[in-house]
Structure 1
């Protein structure tokens, strides 16, 4: 049955290879079941419900991608957007987490619409490469400052805005240890490097009496506190347009970039360099985003960690289905998830930040009209504590810089319209 449905032989793989690939992918991204509930809880979301929503949302999304699009790509709540959800939209702007979930749902609806209609490519192509890369790097910097604050390495200061925290505190030192441990494990290409480091620091922290051990396995917590709690009507308020747009844009670029980067190795491209079954793949991602919001978690999107499973031989949707099953089994690990302290997840956040910041190398550093607006986007995100504001200021700087430099032909009409809308939005804020 598996051979007939996934055409394993045709893709040069076997059930055993697909199972191993699925396990490999899961190990590289399983840290999200510990990190995401903690980030969501900062917004007031019930941590137990967020844990179940994370696992079930990832399981549903990965299964949908594997069974419908038949891609060896796993999905889960995305890093960066979960931080923007809690620290930016809820804590920073003062919206309720229910309204934030509504914004995530609407961004999924928007993604589904452009996936069904032939306009997705036009939007992707309208945004210059420098801004696409800057958005990824900016989110990385946004994550970095959150990670450093969670670890106690940086702290607020009335005169200098931020300053060095209590770097000699045991929790800060353990966070630093966790970070270098991730570097060492990742360099050695050990699957699950981030998860191993999180668990290792947690064990040390428990041994030192810095955190409490709540157990490993139990019945799953109730999903009731978050299930269908999204406030869609509240998210339709005109003031949240930029928030919905930010969720949408980042998910669009994240998903597109992930699929394009791993497609050649996975045999997902045709002879003309186009992605096969791209329609079902994008629609799977958008539906997953909406379902995730309904369950009670931030944007669910494709994970670049899927490349680890593809390197292990994963070539069909069976790889993603295996990941889905493992995420579903993980709902019984709630006690372990609640035992993970913030100083153990901070190194993971900072490492992901380092990876995301790497996209900065793809910016054209020979053209000032490209790199200057890109820097605006990257710096504005952490300093304004808002991904949406970073995108807005970067787009405005890009369009204005091109026009005043006499290079108006370089500005796509869609980009110009977006910049004008952002000017209006910032002016009335």
Structure 2
């Protein structure tokens, strides 16, 4: 009888819609895969609100609203990915992109957060346009792989720098710009502990290492004095302990200022949002899809346009809800390794993101020093792409290095990207290697030079 029920469940509506048999999977496997993916990326539920609206952000955004926007945008985008493209991929606000939003657009450029959300919306619209028109293939071919790799590594350093700053491990110094923080400070000591414990979990390949590290550090913070009569972690129980009704999303819902973002001075930041999101997504697609049979004999992604459309649409919806760019997470590989092969995996992840909206007491209790180790270690992982750069070829090494180093030093992904692209084009022209450069790179080079001129007030 049990076998008959199992057979019915495998041949029912879900199995037919997601094509379980064709993909060699089952409902049980897909559910386990969804749980696995969710656990590995659940840290974003805590990290994103702290990055956009935490005590170190100074954006003016409402923490609870960002928490809701994070969960809802992730759930919506992941659900569209599963239902439209039938991919076992999960989406959420991207690391690096959220830091750029806070410390670049709002912090360094002084934009109101509403205008910054408008820039996110425009970048999402551009992504939809290039996906539907096929322009994305031109962009992919135009930008050399070393510059793509340098962008990823630069963002990694940028994120790690923010993590070190939030932890108090590095502080500002008028003589040397930065210096080592006060290592006896309980906040610093707790962050260092979190860094060590999360690092150990990653080395031992424990599923959900980053979220576990955040939670362990947060719990320890309940017993570490902050020096002001309080503990570093301040947990206020909800109506049902760790559960409570979802926070209000209205403070950030539909508050974006699109008109305010339609300025040429915002060309580079908007392009940077689009560029980083696009290549982050494509890199994840290719890397994860190669393990799932989603790449055809010509090397193209099956249903790739649908998947890219779902990713781009996620950014647009996220900006309307009140969060930074939503992108496909490389942590989806964890679910794929657990057997996930269809969009049912994504549906499970989406449901879990929706359920997470009831965990606001836990998220509100997490101190910034508990998420700092996550930022540092995510930065470490992102720097793995540096091996794809031929450092012996100076023509490539110079713009790649400038792209990487200028992002953390200028506290701007856009500036690092612009410096690297302009340097690459100028080196090509002045060294007789101009024919090696795609014409689209010259267009970008000219636009970035105009951007610098506008910024300088020329």
SS at structure 2 position matched to 1:73:
coil
Offset from partner CA, 1:20-61 (integer Å, 9 cap, x none): 000000000000000000111122210000000000000001
* Preserved CA contact (<8 Å) 2:265 2:454: no
Are 2:103 and 1:87 equivalent residues in the alignment? yes
Cross-structure match for 2:136: 120
Are 2:152 and 1:136 equivalent residues in the alignment? yes
Moved more, 52-61 or 268-277: 268-277
- Which has the larger Rg? 2
Are 2:29 and 1:5 equivalent residues in the alignment? no
Q: Shift of residue 279 of structure 1? A: 0.9
Cross-structure match for 1:174: 190
Offset from partner CA, 1:47-91 (integer Å, 9 cap, x none): 000000000000001000000001000000000010000011101
* Preserved CA contact (<8 Å) 2:88 2:343: yes
Whole-angstrom distance in 1 between the partners of 2:399 and 2:153:
13
Q: Shift of residue 428 of structure 1? A: 2.0
Are 2:284 and 1:268 equivalent residues in the alignment? no
* Preserved CA contact (<8 Å) 2:84 2:306: yes
Are 2:82 and 1:66 equivalent residues in the alignment? yes
SS at structure 1 position matched to 2:359:
helix
Q: Shift of residue 364 of structure 1? A: 1.2
Offset from partner CA, 1:208-258 (integer Å, 9 cap, x none): 222201232100010000000000000002211111111000001111111
Whole-angstrom distance in 1 between the partners of 2:353 and 2:106:
27
Are 2:236 and 1:214 equivalent residues in the alignment? yes
Whole-angstrom distance in 2 between the partners of 1:32 and 1:428:
35
Whole-angstrom distance in 1 between the partners of 2:116 and 2:171:
27
Whole-angstrom distance in 2 between the partners of 1:140 and 1:214:
33
Whole-angstrom distance in 1 between the partners of 2:65 and 2:182:
33
Cross-structure match for 1:326: 352
Q: Shift of residue 168 of structure 1? A: 2.0
Q: TM-score, normalised by structure 1?
A: 0.99
How many equivalent pairs are there? 429
* Preserved CA contact (<8 Å) 2:164 2:372: yes
SS at structure 1 position matched to 2:252:
coil
Whole-angstrom distance in 2 between the partners of 1:39 and 1:32:
10
Give the one of 312, 317, 321 matched to 1:291.
317
Q: Shift of residue 184 of structure 1? A: 1.4
RMSD between superposed Cα atoms in Å: 0.8
Cross-structure match for 1:234: 260
Whole-angstrom distance in 2 between the partners of 1:296 and 1:171:
30
Are 2:50 and 1:38 equivalent residues in the alignment? yes
Cross-structure match for 1:420: 446
SS at structure 2 position matched to 1:176:
helix
Q: Shift of residue 272 of structure 1? A: 2.0
SS at structure 2 position matched to 1:207:
coil
Q: Shift of residue 207 of structure 1? A: 1.8
Q: TM-score, normalised by structure 2?
A: 0.93
Cross-structure match for 2:94: 78
Whole-angstrom distance in 2 between the partners of 1:312 and 1:186:
17
**Residue segments in structure 1 that go unaligned for 5+ positions in a row:** none
Q: Shift of residue 205 of structure 1? A: 0.5
Give the one of 171, 195, 216 matched to 1:200.
216
Whole-angstrom distance in 1 between the partners of 2:201 and 2:349:
22
* Preserved CA contact (<8 Å) 2:264 2:451: no
Offset from partner CA, 1:318-373 (integer Å, 9 cap, x none): 11110000000000011110100000000001011001111111111121011111
Moved over 2 A (4+): none
Cross-structure match for 1:149: 165
Whole-angstrom distance in 1 between the partners of 2:232 and 2:92:
29
Whole-angstrom distance in 2 between the partners of 1:80 and 1:118:
26
Whole-angstrom distance in 1 between the partners of 2:118 and 2:28:
41
SS at structure 1 position matched to 2:447:
helix
Whole-angstrom distance in 1 between the partners of 2:111 and 2:338:
43
SS at structure 2 position matched to 1:403:
helix
Q: Shift of residue 281 of structure 1? A: 0.5
